[in-house]
Amino acid sequence: MITPNCHHDHHNQRQTALSLRLLARCGMEVSENEAKEGSEATEGGKDHADGDCIFTRLSPITRYLFPKDDELILHYLNDDGQSIEPKWFMPIIPMVLVNGSEGTGIGWSLFIPNYNPREIIANLKRLLRGEAMVAMHPWYKGFKGDIAQASKDIGYTTTGKMRVIEDGIRITELPVGRWTREYEEFLKAARYGQEHLIEAYTAHKDKTIVDFKIHMSEDQMNTANKEGGILKNFKLTTTLSTANMYLFDVGGAAIKKYDTPEQILQDFFPLRLDFYEKRRSYLLDELKKAILQLENKVRFMAEVLKGSIKTINREDDMIYADLDAKGFTYLSKETEPTPAGREKYGYLLSMPLASFSHKTIEQLKKEMDETTQFLGELKESTPVSLWLRDLEALDHQLVKYETLSLDEDESSPEIAEEAPEKKVPAKRAAAGPQGENKKKQRCD
């Protein structure tokens, strides 16, 4: 369940949009950026622009995570008589496993790694078929290093990619959670610090590519190999703990500890399956009402065109009497049966007379046939079959999404060689403080 936090306060709206974007950078993005929101490669998103300068929209894949039919049965909050956002949303897969979660509270902290959404889908399909789940391991979109299981306490170790070159080492991937801006600061300290661990480095980088060439003398290389090894000395490993996976339980009343991601899936499964049953029951009722309304519209329009029902220059009571006598169904605007004293036939009498034609009747009949067919298909369906259908559609979109992401990532990296600081000319240096006093918000 995903709880919205975007009513009343514009700051909350910006923070919600920003959090959804940055959280999903190594998982599944539910929104797309239209301005600088920070890059996961440089500072983990901490270099984002001001909230007023961020523009975002839903990603096309989001609708596959949150089917439109679900909106019919969500519990919408009410504020001063106005219906606002739902209390929570219900994705078809648990997004806390897809994009992970990390945080602290009074007496509690949590960390949940990212997991492959396609593996989550596969396990949900197994549960729907009554099969045992397969163990899942952390996964981060675009990560080219290794993730290996360590001990129960540590969880997993992530390792970047490096290889020895003629005069040092070349690093082409950093471990999960290690950002390039932070790593460049480490390399500067390694070169200019007292220990003088490296001679120099060259950084090839963009929003997705990591490529550091680190130049070392023979003595520096020997030192790096001896004291803990290159991976340790060059901070090329991080850990992902799975011993701190705490979440609110299904009822939202208590905090529960989970030992494995499969346990989270096991709790999510009956909650979402019950949601499909509620959605199916609601849709069956709505489709029956829609067909009843279409049948009455077709018959009413035909009677008016034939002249057996007259609506022009007649009192409402007289028209109602004719419709009562001919057995038309009482339906309110909500297509609910209503008592005789209320507005009985608004759904019929509100139709513009200019639309009354045999062509319109044929269109209504076609719509009625399509709705009847959909109703028949829904009657034959089950919550299990509906969920499987949605999972198949999402899985198909993920394949397309991954292909598009690979195409977009094929870009030329910037080459940022370490360079000595340039001296600022005297005139420009004098103008500097004046420029600082002229503060102007920038959106880049």
Identify which of 316, 314, 183 has the alpha carbon closest to the alpha carbon of residue 238.
183
The CA distance from 305 to 198, in Å, is: 91
Q: How far is CA 222 from the centre of its chain?
A: 47
Please tell me the predicted confidence (pLDDT) of residue 108.
Answer: 81
88: left (phi over 0), alpha (psi -120 to 50) or beta: beta
Identify which of 130, 69, 101 has the alpha carbon closest to the alpha carbon of residue 269.
130
Per-residue tokens: 265:
């899936």
Average pLDDT for residues 227-256, to the nearest whole number?
90
Please tell me the predicted confidence (pLDDT) of residue 32.
Answer: 65
- Residue 409 vs residue 28, higher pLDDT: 28
pLDDT at 203 over 80: yes
Please tell me the predicted confidence (pLDDT) of residue 428.
Answer: 35
pTM metric for this prediction? 0.80
pLDDT at 26 over 70: no
The CA distance from 344 to 337, in Å, is: 9
Residue 157 in contact with residue 148, Cβ under 8 Å? yes
Position 250 confidence tier, pLDDT thresholds 50, 70, 90:
confident
Position 50 confidence tier, pLDDT thresholds 50, 70, 90:
low
Per-residue tokens: 199:
């001679």
Q: Determine the Cα angle at 77 with ends 72 and 83, to 5°.
A: 75
Average pLDDT for residues 238-251, to the nearest whole number?
90
Average pLDDT across the chain, whole number: 81
- The domain ranges of the chain are 146-241, 276-384
Please tell me the predicted confidence (pLDDT) of residue 194.
Answer: 81
pLDDT at 388 over 90: yes
The CA distance from 265 to 271, in Å, is: 10
Core vs surface per residue 11-20: b (16+ CB within 10 A) or e: eeebebbbeb
Residue 270 in contact with residue 183, Cβ under 8 Å? no
Mean pLDDT lowest for which of 52-61, 130-139, 318-327?
Answer: 52-61
- Residue 124 vs residue 439, higher pLDDT: 124
Residue 162 in contact with residue 169, Cβ under 8 Å? yes
SS3 399: helix
Please tell me the predicted confidence (pLDDT) of residue 339.
Answer: 44
Per-residue tokens: 233:
């000395």
Average pLDDT for residues 155-159, to the nearest whole number?
94
pLDDT at 21 over 60: no
CATH architecture of 146-241: 2-Layer Sandwich (3.30)
Please tell me the predicted confidence (pLDDT) of residue 270.
Answer: 96
- How far separated are the first and last CA of the chain, in Å rounded? 34
Mean pLDDT lowest for which of 25-34, 135-144, 161-170?
Answer: 25-34
Please tell me the predicted confidence (pLDDT) of residue 55.
Answer: 65
Percent of the chain with pLDDT over 90: 52
Please tell me the predicted confidence (pLDDT) of residue 236.
Answer: 96
Please tell me the predicted confidence (pLDDT) of residue 46.
Answer: 55
Q: In which element (H, E) is residue 192 found? A: helix 180-192
Q: For residue range 287-334, what is the model confidence (pLDDT) as tens digits? A: 999 999 999 999 999 999 999 999 888 888 888 889 999 999 887 655
C-alpha pair distances (Å), 140 with each of 10, 99, 148, 175: 31, 9, 13, 11
Position 441 confidence tier, pLDDT thresholds 50, 70, 90:
very low
Q: In which element (H, E) is residue 171 found? A: strand 168-173
Q: For residue range 330-371, what is the model confidence (pLDDT) as tens digits? A: 876 554 444 443 467 888 988 998 999 999 999 999 999 999
CATH architecture of 276-384: Orthogonal Bundle (1.10)
Position 405 confidence tier, pLDDT thresholds 50, 70, 90:
low
The CA distance from 440 to 23, in Å, is: 29
Percent of the chain with pLDDT over 70: 75
Q: How far is CA 90 from the centre of its chain?
A: 12
Query: How many of the other CB atoms lie within 10 Å of CB of 41?
Result: 19
- Residue 249 vs residue 18, higher pLDDT: 249
Residue 57 in contact with residue 31, Cβ under 8 Å? yes
Please tell me the predicted confidence (pLDDT) of residue 70.
Answer: 93
Q: In which element (H, E) is residue 434 found? A: helix 426-437
pLDDT at 164 over 60: yes
The CA distance from 356 to 334, in Å, is: 23
Core vs surface per residue 394-403: b (16+ CB within 10 A) or e: bbeebeebee
Query: How many of the other CB atoms lie within 10 Å of CB of 220?
Result: 18
